[in-house]
Structure 1
């Protein structure tokens, strides 16, 4: 009998392990391209809780994501924001073929920064938001460029300025 309890993923390292990815280069932040993720399948847990922030851009996802009371279809490409502790479920239809990227940030990474307080005010990290953001091609290209810069910094050696960047 399948458990009705959501699978709680407490750390970014746990997420990497669950998805069959190498250990993250930094324990509190990760930048992933969906080309890297192959493990999610029909027998994977259907309900999940991340204990970290996630910003996700998905395209061509062959499935549905239920977040709050909304069901999202990722055919066109959707930008989705989730705060720690929120329950969501995924239904995958067949093999994964989606594209896009994901930024995972543990709350400890933001500790003692102005963003740690400000992020709680951003409504788009809340269940109260009834729609994910649909992006134009121009907006998507701009975000892809930003993610490339974040990924470049992520893959650089950690120094005393890394967290500020």
Structure 2
């Protein structure tokens, strides 16, 4: 993978691409105007970043997979993420983007809400594809932020910059929701896979070996990030992935309680619980009866 370039400041990123730094904590970049740029690099972001890719110019890899991007694709990164960039020979980067340091939004409403923008943790095959209209909205938001950066700072500057960033992120959330809808056929296929994997999990010895099933386990199995997978399942079913798993677990537990002579402890261990008391609490909270009482009344 070679040396890793770490960006802990806006200035470090701008210096690499020959961009002007107008504010120490936030920058709007037009990489088509970059005077310098690496053709191959592994980058560790200490910043939040969103880029609108105007054309395919090489490979962008996050984790094990290459980004699913083309013209009009938005890629986003959160502090701590590592991305590998490979430029095609003789091609310049063509993207318009925003980078901001976490300190910029500390003490602001956006700082409190940033964790809810789950797309920052989506994986490489989960990029956002924009329509022409959506691309215009994205650019307009960046233009408004850039206008605040080029004018003299005053007491309103930080608030307006933060609000315009929040507006951009809200639009991205809307665009992702639209993408979930337009990719319904693909998403339904993933839901079917999820259901099959759940069934296989409880029919195997995995609960005894690996414990209770996790959202991450199923997300990894279908090659998605936990955040994207969770958002997809919520969009398709109205339930969170964790609620979906719990529902299946309770169904299996009911079958074991009513269809076998196993003790409650045996059932609990077989489902992946370390402690039978934990199983009993969850079962009662969900069903309204303890496992023992449920066996009697049914």
Helix, strand or coil for the counterpart of 2:27? strand
1:71 Cα deviation from its structure 2 partner:
0.8
Q: 1:75 aligns with which of 67, 70, 74?
A: 70
Question: Corresponding residue for 1:90?
Answer: 85
Unaligned stretches of 5+ residues in structure 1: none
Q: Which residue of 2 aligns with 1:18?
A: 16
State the match for 1:48 in structure 2.
Answer: 43
> Number of residue pairs matched?
160
The unaligned stretches of length 5 or more in structure 2 are: 161-298
Normalising by the residue count of structure 1, what TM-score does the alignment of the two structures yield? 0.87
Matched, 1:116 2:114: no
**2:28 counterpart of 1:31:** yes
Q: Could you tell me how far 1:5 is from its partner in structure 2?
A: 4.3
Distance in 1 (CA, whole Å) between partners of 2:159 and 2:38 is 37
TM-score normalised by L of structure 2: 0.50
- Tell me by how many angstroms 1:68 deviates: 2.9
SS, match of residue 86 in structure 2: strand
Rg larger for:
2
Partners in 2 of 1:128 and 1:92 — Cα distance? 20
Give SS of 2:159's match.
coil
Change (3 A) 1:76 1:128: closer
CA–CA separation in structure 2 for the residues paired with 1:18 and 1:100: 15
- Matched with 2:7 is 9
CA contact (8 A) 2:31 2:93 kept: yes
In structure 2, the residue matched to 1:125 is 120
Aligned-partner SS, 1:47: strand
Residues 94 and 4 of structure 1: is their aligned pair in 2 closer, same or farther, counting only changes over 3 Å?
Answer: closer
Indicate the structure whose relative CO is greater, using CA pairs within 8 Å and at least 6 residues apart.
1
**Structure with the higher fraction of residues in strand conformation:** 1
